[in-house]
Amino acid sequence: MQFKDIKGQQVLSNRLTQIIDAGRVSHAQLFVGETQSGSLALALAYMQYLCCQDRQHYASGSELRADSCGHCPSCQQFEQLSHPDLHLFFPNFTTDRIKTKPSCADFQEEFRNFLNQHRQMGSVEQWYADMGVEKQGVIRVEDATAIEAALALKPYQSEYKMVLIWCADKMNADTANKLLKTLEEPDGRTLIILTADATDRMLPTILSRTQQIAIPFVANDSHPEREQLTEWFVEWMRLLFKVNMVQLSAWVDRIAKEGRELQKQFLTFSLEALRQCFLQNISGGTYQCTIDFGDPKFNQSFYTVITRNNIELMTTACNNTLYAIERNAYAAIAFMNLSLNLSIYIRKK
């Protein structure tokens, strides 16, 4: 993956290449942002540039200041996700084939195919769908043991031993605790990059041991479900103002019938929408929300009701519901409780 292939992240791409060129590579980094906004792609492009044998630097004024060459042996191996010093870890699950004690080692080929198919932009929900599973994946303590083993090896081809942990917020507590010493005291030329949509479900001890890099949200029209999420959000917010219990109950029932992963995706989208509307509000409208809600009136007016008085209440309520849904709460009750709370908070202008 090259930086030039990642849309909308040129500013951050330039910052990442500057860090490498200056020799300031931190051994443990956490890229925080949606995979569909490029967090995983940026991590892979960063590693590819780090190992590139013929880095390209462009003239002043170019959109990108530098990029990997794309043709040296190292770059070719990264394009195939077959670099011998790159180790991939990700949420995994039991299947008909792997009935007990699954690990990342059991799904390496499938995961590489998934990354190639979606050009490193596929969401965790798409990963589950492609694998035909409805359960949530976990990064297990066995995977932590495999990470330690991979980092105990000497680099085979590049200067660095590299581990990429996708969806690091899916690590269970045992896994996270086992990795603490590795993150704090890595052996030799080691690079560990974790990616996560958000950090609120990660151990503070993990966060304190990593350099966090925020990945700006980038709207991606290539994912048709985003249009559906946007329609649900606009309808939901309008119902919260009306507090028509018949219509609100019908909306909740419809959402409750959707799969748990899509419910989580909707809550994550809602959190991002609220965040951007709040930024637009406190900037006096100068900050431009990157989400098109598909309704000019809603685009122009909704952000004015997301203020300092309610943003924390609303995001906390959404995060709590997301946490509950992840732990198999009854969706209809969770979404109705959330809706009733938000209908109160949204009036705290």
Q: How confident is the model at residue 52 (pLDDT cuts 50, 70, 90)?
A: very high
Q: Which residues contact 220 (CB under 8 A, 6 or more apart)?
A: 7, 36, 37, 121, 226
For the chain, the structural domain boundaries read 3-214, 225-345
Q: Phi and psi at residue 195, in whole multiples of 5°? A: -125, 150
Total residue length of the chain: 349
| pLDDT single digits (tens) 71-101 | 999 999 999 999 999 999 999 999 989 989 9
Average pLDDT in the chain: 91
> Which CATH code for domain 225-345?
1.20.272
* pLDDT at 349 > cutoff 80: no
Q: Which residues sit opposite 85 in a β-bridge?
A: none
Q: How confident is the model at residue 259 (pLDDT cuts 50, 70, 90)?
A: confident
Segment 172-194 shows an average pLDDT of 92
Q: Is the dihedral of CA 230, 232, 237, 242 positive or negative?
A: positive
* pLDDT at 126 > cutoff 90: no
* pLDDT at 320 > cutoff 90: yes
Is the pTM higher than 0.85?
no
Most confident of 199-203, 215-219, 258-262: 199-203
Tokens encoding 74: 């190292």
- Residues 211 and 87: their CA atoms lie apart, in Å, by 20
Closest C-alpha among 129, 164, 180, 156 to residue 42: 164
Q: How confident is the model at residue 123 (pLDDT cuts 50, 70, 90)?
A: confident
Radius of gyration (C-alpha) of the chain in whole angstroms:
21
Q: How confident is the model at residue 197 (pLDDT cuts 50, 70, 90)?
A: confident
- Residues 14 and 49: their CA atoms lie apart, in Å, by 11
Segment 144-173 shows an average pLDDT of 94
**Does 3.40.50.300 match the CATH number of domain 3-214?**
yes
Segment 138-145 shows an average pLDDT of 96
